[in-house]
Amino acid sequence: MSKENSSNNIQVLKLLNQTVSEPHFLFHFLTFFSYLVLRCSASQVLAPNLTQNLLRREIQTLLAFAVLAFIKGVREETWEAFIGDALFLAKICLFALTFTMDRRIAVSYILVFAVIHVLTQQPPSEALGACSKLTPLLLESLLTEGTTTRYWLVEFSASYSSACIRSSQQFPELSITYSSKILSFGIVDLGLFPNAAEKFGVSLSGSMGQLPTFILFDNAAEVARFPVLGSETTFFNPTITKDYFLGILSLIGTFLNILVVNYIGDCLSLC
């Protein structure tokens, strides 16, 4: 119980630190805080009945936000996904409140959030687990020379992709559980090396392409991948949920099947 509480405290401290250090969170915090300043100024000029109506709207909006945020917190599988959804809900609530005050203020907030979206992005999870950050050249070297492990499970992602940010915590957690002397985990950022996407058959076209893509290598040969070639991810139907967990686990299952077949083959050859 104490370990769980300490873990929650660490998450809160990390969130507070990111609020100050990360431009994405800092700009959002300042924008939401500006509503308090606007609200205090408006209460001095609005009629008492309008102030009471606005207060009721604020209470209703706050309750609606709390309920929706709780539902999202239960359904989402990663902290990054929950934060992204909570910020989106908060923007809708802020627009609804300011729209009742003055439409021009609501439009101003939309423009501010649009500028924040263009200039900043939500940071991905910093946890690496047992993963190694790789360049395409380093990955090719590891696969061809085989000086480390025989099998590599590699995530091809991009720091600009919201889907990769939302799922950035899942792959490192899997690596902690399944990493071994013969299976290693790696991450290649196609945002830094976009030319490597064509080499490894990862599509970057469309609104989201096929990011993230997970490929299992046996030395320099590709054994399996998820999602499979030809599948497309749309903006309104992202596949970063339990399906991705199952997809990654299916690759690991393929890896285990290969080990079993090789082991049986070695046993038969000895006989």
For residue 30, is pLDDT > 90? yes
Q: Which of 199, 211, 99, 119 is nearest to 161 (CA)?
A: 211
For residue 183, what pLDDT is reported? 83
238 pLDDT higher than 60 = no
pLDDT tens digit sequence for 203-223: 776 555 678 888 888 877 888
**pLDDT category, 64, cuts 50, 70, 90?**
very high
Q: Which residue has the higher pLDDT, 198 or 111?
A: 111
Helix (H, G, I), strand (E, B) or coil at 243: helix
Give the per-residue pLDDT at 83: 87
Q: Is the dihedral of CA 248, 249, 253, 256 positive or negative?
A: positive
**b/e per residue, 166-198, with b = 16+ CB within 10 A?**
bbbbbbbbbbeebbeeebbbbbbbbeebeebbe
pTM (2 decimals)?
0.71
- Looking at residue 236, its pLDDT comes to 37
CA 59 to chain centroid: 31
Hunting for tokens 């990769």 — which residue is that? Answer: 164
Find out whether 213 and 225 touch, Cβ atoms under 8 Å: yes
pLDDT of residue 110: 95
Burial label for 163, CB within 10 Å (0-12, 13-18, 19+), is buried
Say which DSSP state 185 is in: E
How sure is the predictor about 264, in pLDDT bands with cuts at 50, 70 and 90?
A: low
Question: What gap in Å lies between CA 245 and CA 77, rounded to an integer?
Answer: 10
Is there a contact between 168 and 174 (Cβ–Cβ < 8 Å)?
no
pLDDT above 90: residue 62 = yes
- The amino acid occupying position 127 is A
As a whole number, mean pLDDT of residues 154-178 equals 83
